[in-house]
Structure 1
Amino acid sequence: MIDWANFHFLRPDWFWALLPLSVLLVAMHYVQTKKSGWHSLIAAHLSQNLLEGKIAAASSSYRWLLAIGWLLAVSALAGPSWQRLPQPVYQLHTGKVLVMDMSLSMRATDIKPDRLTRARYKAIDLINQSAEGEMGLVAYAGDGFVISPLSTDALNLTTLIPALEPEIMPVLGSDPMAGLQAASELLSSAGYQQGDIFWITDGIDNDQVAELRAYLNGIPYRMSVLLVGTEQGAPVTLKNGQFLKDRRGDIVVPKSFDHQLKSLAAQTGGVLVHMQADASDIDYITRQTLVERDTNDEQQDDNQGDQWQEAGPWLLLPILLFAAASFRRGWLLSVVGALVLTQPTKPVYASDIASAWHTRDQLAQQAFEQGEFKQAAALFENPMWRGIAAYKAEDYETAAQAFSQASGIEAQYNLANSLAQLGQLDDAIALYDAVLGQQPQHSDAQANKALLENLKKQQEEQQKQQEEQAQQNEQQQQDSQQQNDEQESEQNQQQSEQQQSESDASEQEQQQEEQQSEQQAQESDAQEQQERSAEESSALEQQMQLENLLNKVPDDPSYLLKRKMLLEYQQRRRTQTLSPAEENW
């Protein structure tokens, strides 16, 4: 049904094409009034009755056909419409990076339960509220580290945030310059000419302001600050329950001041807001991004126009009918062809394809979090994560193949774990040695290597015991054979002595043979039972040892992040000289 309230023409300028139609109709009417060539041959009083009626009727019918067809064609080109098309979700073309302060001062308890816990919740709220566009995650203490590159997967970021804590940082201290530099490099390497940096911190030192101000003058990105903490401050409670103390032994009481941070944020066009108990602080920070999005939406509408469903093609059907009526032959075929060619096709939207909005690694991550490790192993393109998923699915061969394709110490360590599960103890021990050669302090590799060596030693002892048992069984067989030989000699002697009673001797010999066969059968059963019990006990013990190996692939985000940042920090120390922090909070 036509919604006349929304009825309009998408291209109304086409109606200017009706002016030539009016001129043409006037010209045709003028020609019709002229006398045709028959008027010179037929008398005037006769031609008026013989010709005028037929010529006028024929000319009038063609004019009507031309006028209606022309009007329908112009109306179709003008694009009549009254129904909107569904619009895809618009994503922001600006990047965002969340920078989190992971210095020990975030353990201060002036905000309950502490600054770090509240900052985590605020970070998750900020990510969920700024889900449009790409967002990255950076954490810093004595140095800055990229926790997650720019991604549209908000779930991945919110999964990593609870794992962040000062204790996993490779170097203690508070160097906000390193965190802001990492955030700016993320945005610039992704090609963003504009973007937002959301900085969650509990304050900076006065001697850091000049350096930060000079750096922020040279970047094109806007920085907004969420300040965590109070001006009164509170002691820093470490994870062991003790208070943090400075070099003189005094309890550290970090305080949060906003005057320096407010000027830095205003310098980039951003804002500073104190953390609140409700969501008003997050709303205030993200409001600027929403205003910018509205401006971009208006610009996009000006460039592309409203998306309306055009009904103009349907007007081609009556035009074809008029065109067919102007021919004597073939009009039916023209109508049928027009009906076939003008059938609307069903549009295909990206939402009909389940995997169009996610990469294979993102789908694999979802399957991994849902416990579908086999499916995750088939989807992961990253060999490290593919190996972890296969290991979780107890597909150790696939895990070993995946870890062999990855590089680094952790890949070698996980490959050793997979080979240990496959029973290839020598290869696993060799890989543990390679890991310890690169990182002698790798406690897990040390423990697993020692456990495998003990297991291998037990297997060798069991094999030696089995060989000794086989020798004893062979000796018993020899003794039994000797005993049988003695019995046979005695039987022969008895036969010589008792030749007269041949029937009794034969019966006695038969009984002895039966006793011998029974004895051999008993010895054979006892030997098989011993070997079977030894094999069962060996297999059971080996299985228990493997199950108790402390070599499970680590899937704790905190552990993985700690390893990642430690390796990155060690690499930086090789390539550049890092100045130590004056304070460790």
Structure 2
Amino acid sequence: MIPDGFVDSFSAFHFIRPLWLLFLFPVGILWWSVRGSAGRSASIPSSIAPHLAKALQVGSESRQRIQPVDSAVLVLSLLVLAAAGPTWSRIPNPLVSDTAPLVVALKVTKSMMQVDVAPNRLERSKQKVLDLLDERTGAKTALVAYAGTAHQVVPLTEDPAVLKPFLEGLDPSVMPKAGTSLKAALNLAQDILSSQDVPGAILFMVDEIADADTAVLSQHVQSGNSPALFWFASRDQQSKSKLSALPGYPVVEMTPDSKDVEQISRNINAVYQAALANDERQKWKDQGRFLVFPAALIMLFWFRRGWTMQWAAILLSAGVFLQPSEVRADGWKDWFFTPDQQGRMAFEDKQYEKAADLFQDPMWKAFSLYRLGKYEDAAELYSWQESTDAAMGEGMSLLRSRAYRPAIAAFEKAVARDPNNKAAQHNLELARYILDYIETTREQSDTGESGIGADDVAFDNEAGRGTQTQQPTGEALPETAEQWMRTVDTRTGDFLKTRFALEAAGSSQ
């Protein structure tokens, strides 16, 4: 089976520095001249008997055997190819997720309450969404709920903790209108993704689709819109066959284990890689380092007796020192890779602490700290840089540490630096949305002051929102954001029901 994304990667293959390939010609000429002279027999005087002359011609079949020049030329060819910079993928922006933005469109109808998938289709779908969020750590995910109408539950966010209470509050009773309007959910998800710089995907979690939806989906894929895929939450094979018959829409059936989560994640990542290859703003990723290792392995044969050649050693040394990268002499890796390149390799291996130590580029160092979970350190490192991306990184770090007001200030700084930056505008709206939700829920629960974040920010009834109350003796306030969110989880369904009803009423006017 061909791996996902293999065809797209192969079609994007090229060399970053193709002029280095011209050195293959002198290498080929060198091989031809040395190989030819090695096979020519020495001149034997005619006075020697023929049978003795034949015995004296040792190595007359040398053309058929591997010669030292063959390995030397192969090593030089590999180094030339490495210097040319083979590539088939781009380097993503540190502040852009390494997977595609995703909108999860969850069907919330009475049919999703059936128990053919334990405990029922809807609850199992919620569990799978949480599993997918764990798989897509750091990726942007939005949640849409639909029945007879479609509603954005949570905008694109990188924090699963923000999405979880809203997801748990979804139930058919909170939907304002019965029915199944997949078209409305599709249009809403497309609108959410249209604001992103990187194309994303739409994931439908359904148990069946109506016949009328088939034409809608066919038109969607033909129009070149964001790709969509289905996560099938049912054991009804007839409904699955109907979904599988739709061209251009992969269907993954829910499984008891994590195989379905992994498959969905691969499909989404394939979408991102295909989109990234067409993004001219991103640099191509130099993959030449992979050719250095087979070259080093072949060089081991040079320790065999009779294989060491001074001229080959000189050419090899010249090839190494002509590599188009900065080298240092304080370690063997530094002969071939800069500290930032070593940091990038550690980052890709998810060794974020090592990457943070290696990176000299402040943006990548800060991003490594961000991935490591040291959000305060990352925010501080971002704060003294003057770019829009740095302000974005500062805001994202503060948002993950639940310092919502400083995060809003950081995103406002990013927008001020680049008013046309859609990502900065989106993140600013998201941070305000989160803060507004916290204050609104606090007002509704009438808790007064509460510890809501790791940064110990307390809302002191600004703008007259909520009422000040006296905490009953013996009942402690929640100490962390997670504990505080659990205290309002039971009210999330009522909150969503009211909001969806208002949205449905407003759209019908």
TM range (shorter): 0.3 to 0.5
TM-score by length of 1: 0.42
TM-score by length of 2: 0.47
